[in-house]
Amino acid sequence: MARPLAQIPIVGPVVEQYRERLTPRGRYVLWCMVVLAAVGVDTRRTQVFVLFSVAAGIFLIAAIQGLLQPRPKIKIDCRMPERVTALVPLTVLAHVSGNGKALRDLQFSLPRPAKWGSSIQCEPRAVYFDVEPGESASARLDFKALRRGKYELRGAAVRSTDPLRLVTSRAVALQDQVLFAYPRFWSLDEFIIPLGRKYQPGGIPLSSNTGDAIEFVGTREYREGDPVKNIHWRSWARRGEPVVKEYQEEYFCRIALILDTFLPKKASERHVQAFEAAISLLASIADYFSRSEYVVDILAAGPDLYEVSAGRSLAYLENILDVLSCLEPCYDAPFATIGPQLFDKLAHITTVVAVMQDWDAPRRDFLRRVKEGGAGVRAMIVRDGATSEPWQNASADLGEFTQYTTAEIEALLARAGRQS
């Protein structure tokens, strides 16, 4: 696969300088020079070279001034968000203060991220302003992530420009940061699932801690076979005989949200849209359960098993959305290969909510094994058009099934956007 032009070792630094050290007006002048040079190459037949000479002289003076000009002596206060929602615009505001002197023709901009740079949209691309002596100035940009993902944003930068605003100086920039662009989702008022109860080793204390250190509910005398790691040493020293910690063990509902991440290797735009719609649907369900008392496990079936747990103090909704924002499609059918690892995770699950992108034999066999394991099933299929096999026949045996189209998901997202 061909590498992007900006990632070629020799070309990359040149492209970077072109983007950062030339203003939009400077790029326009540069390309005008290229056109004039091409048209006026024959100086005997045309006088276009005169226009080229004028443009080149102006550009050369601006470039020398910009390259020799030092960084502006300023302070920047600009707080970028750490998390945004895809396609939801927000405003970035920067406050710039000088050193008591007047500063003219300053440029404020947000450099493009190295990966998916075109997916970050800023309007305008740069803002120009002046700072009066002893005062501060503000610059405002409208910022929007066009797709979900994890972006490594370079810090907001302020540069000096020449009087014609063609070339910029070296930048005063803030630190780089990571930005998570969440998938769009809507708030569900109700989501009915088949409930059940299973024994959870360790009970609620275990489900409310991410590590191995859990709270105990009491102590008791040591019995043969008790693990040494459960010995309560202080009580043993006080009583003069071995004492072990006793843990609380309870039955409660544990729900697994399973996402089908499979996409064909030559996926069409329709398949990609359905994949993104499925992620939005799962995020909406996760948002609903994050406001409940259930323990929820998010399991994304792909080449590797992506897992995050939430509920009962385990994690907040942001942890789930962080995972969903970075989730990539799987190009090999996952349900035939990931079964054993996934079923180990489902051993203590009471209800499975599966968001599928199709319905066929591997998916049917997977949910049948889930059902045979004692868990309730609710499945949702996000697909435009008919599935590979009719799912209506499986609904009576496996659980409740629903099919959504991408248009229906978009309508729900649009309605939520209008209400907010």
Model confidence pLDDT, tens digit, residues 346-358 = 777 888 899 999 9
User: What is the greatest pairwise CA distance in the chain?
Assistant: 109
Would you list the DSSP string of 244-286?
A: EEE---EEE-EEEEEEE-B--TT--HHHHHHHHHHHHHHHHHH
Quote the pLDDT of residue 204. 42
The pLDDT of residue 134 is above 80: yes
Which residues share a beta bridge with 172? 158
Lowest mean pLDDT among 48-52, 236-240, 271-275, 276-280: 236-240
- CA 329/CA 319 separation, integer angstroms: 19
The dihedral sign for the CA sequence 13, 17, 18, 19: positive
Residue 282 CB burial class (10 angstroms; 0-12, 13-18, ≥19): buried
Nearest CA to 22 among 170, 195, 167? 167
Question: How far, in Å, CA of 98 to CA of 90, rounded?
Answer: 26
Its pTM stands at 0.76
What amino acid is encoded at 406 in this protein?
T
141/164 Cα distance (integer angstroms): 22
Q: What's the rounded Cα separation, in Å, for the pair 227 and 81?
A: 47
> Residues near 130 by Cβ (< 8 Å), separated by ≥ 6?
102, 103, 104, 105, 106, 137
**Paired tokens of 343:** 């079923």
For the stretch 178-229, pLDDT in tens is: 999 999 999 988 888 876 545 444 444 334 333 333 455 677 888 877 778 7
Q: How many CA atoms lie within 13 A of 171 on its CB side?
A: 20
Token pair for 255: 């729900």
Question: Counting beta carbons within 10 angstroms of the beta carbon of residue 198, is it exposed (0 to 12), middle (13 to 18) or buried (19 or more)?
Answer: middle
Across 274-296, average pLDDT: 87
Q: How much is the pLDDT for 17?
A: 83
Percent of the chain at pLDDT above 90? 28
Residue 42, pLDDT score: 82
- 3 state SS of 120: strand
What is the pLDDT at residue 203?
42
Q: pLDDT tens digit string along 32-83? A: 999 999 988 887 788 888 899 999 999 999 999 888 888 898 999 988 889 9
C-alpha span between 15 and 19 (Å, rounded): 6
Domains along the chain with CATH numbers: 5-39+48-61 (no CATH), 75-182 (2.60.40.10), 202-248 (no CATH), 251-419 (3.40.50.410)
Instruction: Give how far the C-alpha of residue 325 lies from the chain's centroid of Cα atoms, to the nearest Å.
Output: 3
* Average pLDDT score over the chain: 82
Half-sphere exposure of 251 (CA within 13 A, CB side): 6
